[in-house]
A and B are shown apart, each in its own frame.
Chain A
Amino acid sequence: MIDVNEKIANKHGLSVDEYNQIIKLIGKKPNLTELGIFSAMWNEHCSYKSSKKWLKTLPTKNIRVIQGPGENAGVVDIDDNDVVVFKIESHNHPSFIEPYQGAATGVGGILRDIFTMGARPIASLNSLRFGSTDHAKTKYLLNGVVSGIAGYGNCVGVPTVGGEIEFDSCYNGNILVNAMNIGIAKKNKVFYSVASGVNNPVVYVGSKTGRDGIHGASMASQEFDEDSESKKPTVQVGDPFSEKLLLEACLELMETNSIVSIQDMGAAGLTSSSVEMASKGNVGIEINLDNVPCRESGMTPYEIMLSESQERMLIVLREGREKVCKNIFKKWDLDFSIIGKLTNTQKLTLKSNNITVCDLPISALSHEAPEYDRKWNKSIPEAEIDYENKISDYNLQDLIEKVISHPNQANKSWVWEQYDHMVMCDTINMPGGDASIIRIHDSNKAIAASVDCVPRYCKSSPYWGGMQAVCESFRNLCSVGAKPLAITNCLNFGNPEKPEIMGQFVETINGISEACKILDYPVVSGNVSLYNETKGIGINPTPVIGGVGLIKDLNKISDYKFKNYDNLVYVIGKTNGHLGQSILCYDILHLKKGPPPKIKLEDELLHGKFLIEMIKKGLIEASHDISSGGIILSILEMCMSSKLGVNLSIKKSNFELIKYLFAEDQSRYVVEIKNENQSILEEEMKKQCIVFKKIGNTIREKLIFINDKYKFDLNNLIELNNRWFKNYSKN
């Protein structure tokens, strides 16, 4: 066996200091297998060594939270003995190297996190970011990622109900693929990964172990360089068919009262699953590697422990339940093997050919992993810009047409029509709206979900950007009438060893925390993806927020489609005309400086609660949040989805009008109401001190009028909105 030294440790992504710390902790020089195991557990992806200190500051509790961060997924009470289980996870690095398999296994991994907890997955969402549309690799990556998500999710039979896609040159060298999944379980039937009971058998189920994905987690903890192509072998290969069998087999086993604890083999495979289970239960674990089902012969202990082959689970069974378990997995044509047992040694002991090949204290691999308080710099706030002389020359008509035809605002049906968004027959609304609504099977209750982030805000001001991401997800849930429950976050950043990047991370967390606190919208699960850099160029900070809300009565929901002509159109919330970091400035006019909008969290809460209440009372015909693109984009989306026109009357002209329509001030909604409800709504808003403005009415003609001065043909706008994806292959 190769003699381990500093150089080899370095190749494993461990610094000299870390290597020396290992020797100190275990009192010996590790052998190669042991070193590999340390590298898998101590890398950024598994150990959260740069982020842990700050993650601890996030609000993670409220009256409904049953399980916060630290498990495979978060668990939140939704009454009637039901719980919702959800999490988001990144698969950025592998998806850039091999888009189809990278994205597919991202979906597979997050599905397993959910059904490991005893929940049946009921909905997938994803948040995708690609480089600029004219970058040579963008279309190849987009096509690969979308078909990978489709190929995996469709086959398993879990609907992909929503998501977001954005193009920005900052992702040219590092795309982001964040996959979220939501499952439903019974409150008294949730499974955890805490191992217990010395001598209880440790069981391996699912697919066989192969040589794919070795060092995947370490790869995802480094920057890319010219050689990233050569890292293809670190990308795992997905088998959604096995996943479907594994899902059904696990849920069947969970009905039999046989499981003590269960954990999927995700990043760092057998290593992290066994160590994490043992560590949480404060026990030892002994594994005979000869019993691990392998795809090929001659695999070394090192390879077996570091493989990231997919569709595998590790289970601690109650003693005596082996046969029950075996029969279920045999029925589903999956491997089942007793590979070890729990011990009282608090050690990870691995045997191969009757030789002990690894003998390490669990604590050294887990609790005692390094935790860094990395240096961070405060970000410098960007100065306000005088936009008037830069914008006044533009024609409103022209700007509206440019915004609507930009790929970032384009109709994304090209994407979501590749996803089976209806299987399981509980999808209540089509993708493309504010939040997706998924019914709890066989009930009149539903879950709403949305994924959100505006990275350009976060780049300019991580604090306000982090806060805004939480607020936008909150707003999207309120828009459909759902009570926001909790969030999961996927924090995508550059290299944390650079103080300015670490500063972005810290300030983003602070912004998120503040919003979660005031909105009573805690973080229950999440994932951190650092080192999203190529040759020293990092991405914009992208803290993606996955929000989940509860709808108690499916008859009291709303959507963004206008319902009828001659109804009134209102803006709820104050429009100050904030243009910094707006779509208009950033994507259309390429004015990328300036601060993002600030948020008054008290208003966010008040407006959201008010809207939910009005939807419940049946006073709202349609509702849509105002986000990127401002009032005008929200209204155009409401027109395009319903094929109804609108007549807007706004007493402003030229620059002031452009400012009013495109400003991205926060905490606002557009609503459509019936004439007969006007006074009751206005009175209620006055009573609650909510700023509002009537800006027009819906019309039967497929036309959009602004102040009788501008006239748009709706069909023409729809055509422009569809153009980019429609011409995808020709672009």
Chain B
Amino acid sequence: MKVNIIVFPGSNCDRDIKVALERFQIKCKMIWHGETILPKSDLVVLPGGFSYGDYLRCGSMASKSIIMKEVIKHASYGGLVLGVCNGFQILTESGLLPGSLLRNHNLKFICKHVNLIVKNNKTQFTNCYAKLDKITIPIAHNEGNYYADKNTLRVLEDNDQIVFQYCDENYIINNQGNPNGSSLNIAGVINKNKNVLGMMPHPERSVENFLNKDDGINFFESLLK
């Protein structure tokens, strides 16, 4: 599998996701945001960070950068696209995914391990998880409060586009387990064609056992299956 990781000015999880992918023998190329050509690849990753400082709406500047035209093209041909954290924000800003990410409801940056339910395990990103698998992966964001109107949410549910949902320590999807106020506790969504995934949690921070959490391993294993 070949991966292109897009580096925007202000990206800061680009190395982290590269290191994680390489643990699974996946080859990565770093692509600077100003490039006009996107080398052929199976997966394009938009990493976490603060692209352009996120001084405008998070991800909105990056969604207009030169390389994004190529990323959108790649997606339209059915190529895989993954946006993590700031990458997820860029995907909603560029229209590749529905909804948008608002400020966390407590108005604070939140960095901690959260509990998730794998709602859809039939995607190229989650096929190594069990259906409704209970996992723990960290989040680290200020704007992760997923919002979409009622109709969109219904469509997401009907099409099985909700991939990850936040839940409490007993893995029940409720308010208590919702760290940032997201609609339907949504932590990750995929597009209708199931090739573009955006998620706030950081799977790349969960591939080693140091913090006793390595639930991200299955995420990367899924890419290879």
The chain A residues found within 8 Å of chain B, CB to CB, are: 147, 150-151, 154-157, 239-242, 244-245, 332-333, 413, 416-425, 427-430, 439
Contact A240 B53 (CB under 8 A): yes
Q: Which chain B residues lie closer than 8 Å to A151 at the CB level?
A: 109
Q: Identify B12's interface contact among A244, A413, A417, CB under 8 A.
A: A244
Contact A422 B9 (CB under 8 A): no
Q: A155-B10, A157-B49, A241-B50 are in contact. Are A425 and B19 (CB under 8 A)?
A: yes
**In the complex, what residue of chain A is closest to B210 when comparing beta carbons?**
A428
Q: Which chain B residues lie closer than 8 Å to A413 at the CB level?
A: 112
Q: A241-B55, A418-B110 are in contact. Are A332 and B9 (CB under 8 A)?
A: yes
Cα separation A239 to B110 with both chains bound (whole Å): 21
Cα separation A332 to B55 with both chains bound (whole Å): 17
**Interface check B140, CB cutoff 8 A:** yes
Q: A150-B109, A241-B55, A418-B108 are in contact. Are A424 and B15 (CB under 8 A)?
A: yes
Cα separation A155 to B51 with both chains bound (whole Å): 9
Cα separation A730 to B210 with both chains bound (whole Å): 36
**Interface check B138, CB cutoff 8 A:** yes
Cα separation A240 to B52 with both chains bound (whole Å): 10
What are 9 of the A-B contact pairs (CB < 8 Å)? A151-B109, A244-B10, A244-B12, A416-B111, A423-B16, A423-B140, A425-B205, A427-B210, A428-B211
**In the complex, what residue of chain A is closest to B204 when comparing beta carbons?**
A425
**Interface check B162, CB cutoff 8 A:** no
- Which 7 pairs across A and B sit closest by C-beta, in order of nearness? A157-B12, A241-B53, A155-B50, A420-B140, A425-B16, A420-B111, A150-B109
What distance in Å separates the Cβ of A644 from its nearest Cβ neighbour in chain B? 15
**Interface check B71, CB cutoff 8 A:** no
Q: A241-B10, A430-B211 are in contact. Are A425 and B20 (CB under 8 A)?
A: yes
Contact B108 A147 (CB under 8 A): yes
Q: A155-B53, A420-B140 are in contact. Are A241 and B9 (CB under 8 A)?
A: yes
Q: Which chain A residues lie closer than 8 Å to B9 at the CB level?
A: 241, 244-245, 332-333
**In the complex, what residue of chain B is closest to A431 when comparing beta carbons?**
B111
Q: Which chain B residues lie closer than 8 Å to A147 at the CB level?
A: 108-109
Q: A157-B13, A425-B20 are in contact. Are A244 and B109 (CB under 8 A)?
A: no
Q: Which chain A residues lie closer than 8 Å to B48 at the CB level?
A: 423
Cα separation A437 to B143 with both chains bound (whole Å): 28
**In the complex, what residue of chain B is closest to A419 when comparing beta carbons?**
B111
Chain B 4-38 interface residues, beta-carbon cutoff 8 Å to A: 9-10, 12-13, 15-16, 19-20
Contact A422 B109 (CB under 8 A): no
Q: Which chain B residues lie closer than 8 Å to A427 at the CB level?
A: 210-211
What distance in Å separates the Cβ of B134 from its nearest Cβ neighbour in chain A? 19
Q: Which chain B residues lie closer than 8 Å to A239 at the CB level?
A: 53
Known contacts A417-B110, A423-B48, A430-B211; 18 additional CB pairs below 8 A are A151-B109, A240-B50, A241-B50, A241-B53, A241-B55, A244-B10, A245-B9, A245-B10, A418-B110, A419-B109, A420-B111, A422-B140, A424-B16, A425-B205, A425-B208, A428-B210, A428-B211, A429-B210
Q: Which chain A residues lie closer than 8 Å to B49 at the CB level?
A: 157
Cα separation A239 to B52 with both chains bound (whole Å): 11
Cα separation A296 to B187 with both chains bound (whole Å): 44
Q: Which chain B residues lie closer than 8 Å to A419 at the CB level?
A: 109, 111
Which of A147, A151, A242, A244 has the most B CB atoms < 10 Å from its CB?
Answer: A244
Cα separation A333 to B52 with both chains bound (whole Å): 11
Q: Identify A421's interface contact among B12, B19, B108, B111, CB under 8 A.
A: B111
Q: Which chain A residues lie closer than 8 Å to B55 at the CB level?
A: 241
Contact B108 A422 (CB under 8 A): no
Q: Which chain B residues lie closer than 8 Å to A430 at the CB level?
A: 211
What distance in Å separates the Cβ of A421 from its nearest Cβ neighbour in chain B? 6
Q: Which chain A residues lie closer than 8 Å to B138 at the CB level?
A: 422
Q: Which chain B residues lie closer than 8 Å to A417 at the CB level?
A: 110-112
Contact B210 A422 (CB under 8 A): no
Chain B 43-57 interface residues, beta-carbon cutoff 8 Å to A: 48-50, 52-55
What distance in Å separates the Cβ of B65 from its nearest Cβ neighbour in chain A? 12
**In the complex, what residue of chain A is closest to B14 when comparing beta carbons?**
A157
Q: Identify A418's interface contact among B13, B109, B204, B205, CB under 8 A.
A: B109
What distance in Å separates the Cβ of B24 from its nearest Cβ neighbour in chain A? 14
What distance in Å separates the Cβ of B220 from its nearest Cβ neighbour in chain A? 13
Q: Which chain A residues lie closer than 8 Å to B110 at the CB level?
A: 417-418
Q: Which chain A residues lie closer than 8 Å to B108 at the CB level?
A: 147, 150, 418
Q: Identify A420's interface contact among B10, B109, B210, CB under 8 A.
A: B109
Chain B 132-160 interface residues, beta-carbon cutoff 8 Å to A: 138, 140, 142
**In the complex, what residue of chain A is closest to B16 when comparing beta carbons?**
A425
Chain B 45-78: CB-based contact to A (< 8 A → 1; otherwise 0): 0001110111100000000000000000000000
**In the complex, what residue of chain A is closest to B55 when comparing beta carbons?**
A241
Cα separation A150 to B140 with both chains bound (whole Å): 11
Q: Which chain A residues lie closer than 8 Å to B19 at the CB level?
A: 425
Q: Which chain B residues lie closer than 8 Å to A423 at the CB level?
A: 12-13, 16, 48, 140
Q: Which chain B residues lie closer than 8 Å to A429 at the CB level?
A: 210-211
Q: Which chain A residues lie closer than 8 Å to B205 at the CB level?
A: 422, 425
Chain B 196-221: CB-based contact to A (< 8 A → 1; otherwise 0): 00000010110010110000000000
Contact B111 A422 (CB under 8 A): yes
Cα separation A423 to B55 with both chains bound (whole Å): 20
Q: Which chain B residues lie closer than 8 Å to A416 at the CB level?
A: 111
Q: Which chain B residues lie closer than 8 Å to A422 at the CB level?
A: 111, 138, 140, 202, 205, 211
What distance in Å separates the Cβ of A602 from its nearest Cβ neighbour in chain B? 35
Cα separation A333 to B138 with both chains bound (whole Å): 32
Cα separation A429 to B16 with both chains bound (whole Å): 17
Cα separation A583 to B15 with both chains bound (whole Å): 44
Cα separation A357 to B12 with both chains bound (whole Å): 43
Q: Which chain A residues lie closer than 8 Å to B204 at the CB level?
A: 425
Q: Which chain B residues lie closer than 8 Å to A155 at the CB level?
A: 10, 12, 50, 53-54
What distance in Å separates the Cβ of B18 from its nearest Cβ neighbour in chain A? 10
Cα separation A424 to B16 with both chains bound (whole Å): 6
Chain B 88-147 interface residues, beta-carbon cutoff 8 Å to A: 108-112, 138, 140, 142
Cα separation A154 to B48 with both chains bound (whole Å): 11
Chain B 149-192 interface residues, beta-carbon cutoff 8 Å to A: none
What distance in Å separates the Cβ of B181 from its nearest Cβ neighbour in chain A? 16
**In the complex, what residue of chain A is closest to B19 when comparing beta carbons?**
A425
Q: Which chain A residues lie closer than 8 Å to B210 at the CB level?
A: 427-429, 439
Contact A154 B10 (CB under 8 A): no
Cα separation A242 to B202 with both chains bound (whole Å): 24
**In the complex, what residue of chain A is closest to B20 when comparing beta carbons?**
A425
Cα separation A661 to B12 with both chains bound (whole Å): 46
Contact B111 A418 (CB under 8 A): yes
**In the complex, what residue of chain B is closest to A151 when comparing beta carbons?**
B109
Contact B109 A154 (CB under 8 A): yes
Cα separation A147 to B138 with both chains bound (whole Å): 20
Q: A423-B12, A424-B16 are in contact. Are A241 and B52 (CB under 8 A)?
A: yes
Q: Which chain B residues lie closer than 8 Å to A157 at the CB level?
A: 12-13, 49-50
Which of B9, B19, B138 has the most A CB atoms < 10 Å from its CB?
Answer: B9
Q: Which chain A residues lie closer than 8 Å to B10 at the CB level?
A: 155, 241, 244-245
What distance in Å separates the Cβ of B208 from its nearest Cβ neighbour in chain A? 8
Q: Which chain A residues lie closer than 8 Å to B16 at the CB level?
A: 423-425
